[in-house]
Amino acid sequence: MELKSATALAHPNIAFIKYWGNRDEQLRLPQSGSISMNLASLHTETTVRFSDDLERDTVVVNSQLLVGDPLARVTGFLDRVRSLAGKQIHADVVSSSNFPIGAGIASSASAFAALALAGSAALGLSLNESELSRLARTGSGSASRSIPGGYCEWARGESDLDSFSVSILPQDGWDLSDLIVLLSHSHKKVGSTAGHSSANTSPYQPARIQDAARRLDICRKAILERDFSALAEISEEDSTLMHAVMMTQQPPLFYWEPRSLAIIKAVKEWRASGLPCFATLDAGPNVHVICPTEARDDVYANIHVLVPDSQILVSGVGGPAHLINPTTVEH
């Protein structure tokens, strides 16, 4: 009997320049590049155990056994890992996150990054960072950005071979914080995968993609120069551009809730009054308010006054996905 297992931890990320829309749905090759920051205090920890004893894959996420489409998505991903290793062997996967799933905190990013690393390590593959990022990408696009550490850019690339993420600034390169205002813990009506596949039904998606290189250049430069004001302006612009596409897709996706909009508008006013902060939203109602860590307490206090009933998660910049006590036991 052969037993191989590994445990990996990965952080979710918040995108400043967003990923929305694929040119290849299977390989999750994006229509444009994107840039994000890993979130230190949030993580997914995943253990993958391959064994000849298993007759099928089983996947437990936050103590719940996956069935149906969510299970099929993970087994399809495991097929990819098995194919890389040239092995036919089933797996038990146990994964848990310390933050609410399915509410726009990109749980799939940390989940598939951790799964890519744990799964490949358990089968004895020694993938380098770009190979891991490419693999994670095929499970969830934004997972490719949760493999390297700190501030990451995911290249559009020409093919599967060169569409992966690299760190453009390490996690200790710029001390920013993300205050995540939780406005909903509930699962989204329309998940990101379905939303991506209808991005092109918005008449605005082509213009958004055509303009992406400009936004990426501005954002990358802002990060490398630690220019918060420039990062704030381009990130808010990019977030609005993505949500404008979502709201004009068929069917329309209105991820913004009234309180999301209240925070978006308030943050613009706070910044105009001199408090460094900006708001950005992924595919969900929760608002990420980004600020230099030295302004964190002031920004937190402002948010708390505005939405006193909402939970606020606080995070600094996170590192790369990594293995925890990697083990391979042969019997």
Nearer to its own copies, 85 or 247 (CB): 247
Among 207, 213, 224, 301, binds its own copies (CB under 8 A): 207
Residue whose CB is less far from its own copies, 91 or 290: 290
Nearest CA-CA partner of 20 in 215, 320, 239? 239
**70 binding its own copies? (CB under 8 A):** no
Q: Which stretch binds its own copies (CB under 8 A): 107-115, 159-167, 223-231, 242-250?
A: 242-250
Residues 257-286 that bind its own copies (CB under 8 A): 257-259, 261-262, 264-265, 268
Q: Which of 301, 190, 196 is nearest to 253 (CA)?
A: 190
Q: Give me Rg for the CA atoms of the chain.
A: 19
**Which of 70, 76, 124, 252 forms a contact with its own copies (CB under 8 A)?**
252
Residue 3: CA count within 13 A, CB half-sphere: 7
Question: Interaction with its own copies in 102-161: which residues (CB under 8 A)?
Answer: none
Residue 172: strand, helix, or coil:
coil
Could you check whether the bond before residue 285 is cis, i.e. omega within 30 degrees of 0?
no
Least distance (Å) between residue 330 CB and its own copies: 56
Which segment (52-60, 140-148, 244-252, 318-326) binds its own copies by CB under 8 A? 244-252
Q: At what angle do helices 107-122 and 129-139 cross, to 10 degrees?
A: 120
Site residue total, its own copies (CB under 8 A): 26
- Closest contact distance (angstroms) between CB of 137 and its own copies is 26
Question: How buried is residue 144: exposed, middle or buried, by Cβ count under 10 Å (0-12/13-18/19+)?
Answer: buried
Scanning 91-99, 131-139, 160-168, 200-208 for contacts with its own copies by CB under 8 A, the matching segment is: 200-208
Q: Where are the alpha helices (DSSP H) in the chain?
A: 68-85, 107-122, 129-139, 192-197, 205-210, 212-224, 228-247, 258-272, 296-306
In the complex, the smallest distance separating the C-beta of residue 306 from its own copies, rounded to whole angstroms, is: 10
Residue 39 is classified by DSSP as: B
Question: Please, what is the minimum distance in Å from the beta carbon of residue 263 to its own copies?
Answer: 9
Q: Which of the ranges 107-115, 181-189, 241-249, 323-331 carries the binding residues for its own copies, by CB under 8 A?
A: 241-249
Choice between 35 and 242, CB closer to its own copies: 242
CB of 187 closer than 8 Å to CB of 201: no
| Amino acid at site 92 | D
Please report whether residue 20 would count as binding its own copies according to CB under 8 A: no
Q: Which is nearer to its own copies, 248 or 327 (CB)?
A: 248
Neighbouring residues of 45: CB distance < 8 A, sequence distance ≥ 6: 7, 8, 9, 95, 96, 97, 114, 324
Kindly state the smallest distance separating residue 21's Cβ from its own copies, in Å. Answer: 15
Shortest Cβ 202–its own copies spacing (Å) = 9
Residues that bind its own copies (CB under 8 A): 203-204, 206-208, 210-211, 236-237, 240-241, 244-245, 247-248, 252, 254, 256-259, 261-262, 264-265, 268
